[in-house]
A and B are shown apart, each in its own frame.
Chain A
């Protein structure tokens, strides 16, 4: 009886602490932007973004979609001048036991046997085309924002929807560039 109670108290404490620990706050890391063939490109990756639950869902064979949305703003303007998005999707082949990652920005597929490598690659943005240089006008200042969003996973037949964003505290990681002009990009 006492043993059961002490076990319950321990579980209760763990569960109470899991209220806080089962969520993470992802952020963009190692971000950079530059001109590449007259196109403004962005590269970076998301860190602190995986939880045990997300790992479990990834390994279950369900497709997980990570959407990157980018917006170009003129300085001091809330309304974006341009907006677009690219997606990364990861799916585990339950029969042959490998991970396939599709990245729309590069129109490429990557295959990984190692789960850790697959996770690293899934959140990596190597070259994200933001906009062609012709878009930017002389004498005006701009900045851009990149945000990431995890789509929910729907388990068919079970009619169960798993909201993945809850593991991110429903907060999308966002990168906001410094203000720049076309001359800054060219230099």
Chain B
């Protein structure tokens, strides 16, 4: 059974307490008053005086006794009317004061619960990563201090996050600069050696100059190609275009992507049927899947097998890539998503970094599990309808979410 809201619970409890308090107050005063008024009526003054007059009719003049009896009746009448009025007004007092206190309570609770609801809603946004959110202040609310402190805390968090991001960015660029310098230095050595060798053979008029010339030219061209590939990959990574979100069928996309690889390796796909439409950048997601497949292909030696499966649970898309390749060492698992980290001779070290970056841009996560010699498993998790979060502002964000959810239901 679902309990009523906090506000309703408080109101009901307070109402019961108020009624009890009102009744007790009323009981106290009315008991006192009734005691006094009962005393007056129980005296039977009218009957006593009238009996006296009846017994001594001859001795007492009617004109003398009449005002006395009238006054006694007046007293009893006013006591009766007053008691009745008191009963009525005390009831009204209990009801009206109860209603007034309830109204005040309602206003007070509204001043608490409304900002609390805002706080709760905004906390969810903040938990989703939007640190730009600020809870609207409510000047008259008793919890306004809490809101102000909360906003200050979020501001501080945002500032710290920006600083952290900047620091990470600086670190990444430093690492990249080091790697780039190293990568550029590698082809430079054979280039220089080839040039020096050519120069030497040329001035010495060496008989094998032609052969050396051909060999050196081949080495130089190869190293220039390597440098060109390096520059292209770096350029691709550095200038990743902003996402273009659309709704499409994720399973269809995976089926399409794996086709060219089916001749090279055993590809097993296990896709969940009736998945809701996916909302994301189709081109970028294609790059994610292609990079993961290529990464798997590079690690597979013989009888290679790649299995791809999709699942949809708790409003989350789950895409799993599994291979039976050579696997990744435990100490390298933390580094594989870093730019320019590679253990292969021909790798640029940017493939998985790009994957990570695209998945993050879709507000998703990527997890890697690997066992040396047995294979690797990548799990991508992306929340339904939030994949656009924090991206291109020109996108129909809320409409997109609503539409996707509607189709799912």
Residues of A within 8 A of B78 (CB): 155, 158, 160
CB-CB nearest in chain B for A93: B66
A15 contacts the other chain (CB 8 A): yes
Q: Which residues of A contact B (CB under 8 A)?
A: 4-5, 7-9, 11-12, 15-16, 18-19, 22, 53, 56-57, 59-62, 93-96, 155, 157-158, 160, 162
Check if B26 sits within 8 Å of A158, measured CB to CB. Answer: no
Residues of B within 8 A of A53 (CB): 81, 84
Check if B94 sits within 8 Å of A12, measured CB to CB. Answer: yes
Check if A8 sits within 8 Å of B88, measured CB to CB. Answer: no
Residues of B within 8 A of A155 (CB): 74, 77-78
| CB-CB nearest 5 A-B residue pairs | A15-B91, A94-B69, A60-B73, A60-B77, A8-B23
B50 contacts the other chain (CB 8 A): yes
Partner of A16, one of B76, B77, B81, B95: B95
A interface footprint on B80-98 (CB within 8 Å = 1, 0 otherwise): 1100100110111011000
Size bracket of the B interface: 20 to 34
Q: A12-B94, A95-B62, A95-B66 are in contact. Are A56 and B80 (CB under 8 A)?
A: yes
Residues of B within 8 A of A59 (CB): 73
Partner of A60, one of B24, B65, B74, B92: B74
Partner of A5, one of B20, B69, B74: B20
Check if B77 sits within 8 Å of A12, measured CB to CB. Answer: no
Contacts A60-B76, A62-B73 known; 17 new A-B pairs at CB < 8 A: A8-B23, A15-B88, A18-B87, A56-B77, A56-B81, A57-B77, A60-B70, A60-B73, A61-B73, A61-B74, A94-B46, A94-B73, A95-B53, A95-B69, A155-B74, A158-B78, A160-B78
Check if A9 sits within 8 Å of B23, measured CB to CB. Answer: yes
B173 contacts the other chain (CB 8 A): no
Check if A15 sits within 8 Å of B27, measured CB to CB. Answer: no
Taking CB atoms and an 8 Å cut-off, the chain B residues in 43-67 that contact chain A are 46, 50, 53, 62, 65-66
Taking CB atoms and an 8 Å cut-off, the chain B residues in 76-133 that contact chain A are 76-78, 80-81, 84, 87-88, 90-92, 94-95
Residues of B within 8 A of A12 (CB): 23, 26, 91, 94
Taking CB atoms and an 8 Å cut-off, the chain B residues in 333-355 that contact chain A are none
Q: Which of B30, B77, B88 counts the most A-chain CB atoms under 10 A from its CB?
A: B77
Q: How far is the CA of A15 from the CA of B88 in the complex (A)?
A: 6
A interface footprint on B203-222 (CB within 8 Å = 1, 0 otherwise): 00000000000000000000
Check if B91 sits within 8 Å of A16, measured CB to CB. Answer: yes
Check if A8 sits within 8 Å of B66, measured CB to CB. Answer: no
Q: How far is the CA of A34 from the CA of B51 in the complex (A)?
A: 50
Distance (Å) between the CB of A150 and the closest chain B CB? 15
Check if B77 sits within 8 Å of A8, measured CB to CB. Answer: no
Q: How far is the CA of A162 from the CA of B88 in the complex (A)?
A: 16
Q: How far is the CA of A58 from the CA of B386 in the complex (A)?
A: 82
Residues of A within 8 A of B76 (CB): 60
Residues of B within 8 A of A157 (CB): 71, 74
Residues of B within 8 A of A158 (CB): 74, 78
Partner of A94, one of B26, B70, B87, B94: B70
Q: How far is the CA of A155 from the CA of B88 in the complex (A)?
A: 22
Distance (Å) between the CB of B65 and the closest chain A CB? 6
Check if A8 sits within 8 Å of B26, measured CB to CB. Answer: yes
Distance (Å) between the CB of B30 and the closest chain A CB? 8
Q: Which of A8, A62, A162 counts the most B-chain CB atoms under 10 A from its CB?
A: A8
Q: How far is the CA of A56 from the CA of B88 in the complex (A)?
A: 18
Q: How far is the CA of A158 from the CA of B77 in the complex (A)?
A: 11
Check if B65 sits within 8 Å of A95, measured CB to CB. Answer: yes
Partner of B70, one of A16, A61, A96: A61
Pairs A–B under 8 Å by Cβ, sample size 5? A7-B27, A12-B91, A19-B92, A93-B66, A94-B66
Check if A19 sits within 8 Å of B27, measured CB to CB. Answer: no
Check if A62 sits within 8 Å of B65, measured CB to CB. Answer: no
CB-CB nearest in chain A for B26: A8
Residues of B within 8 A of A95 (CB): 50, 53, 62, 65-66, 69
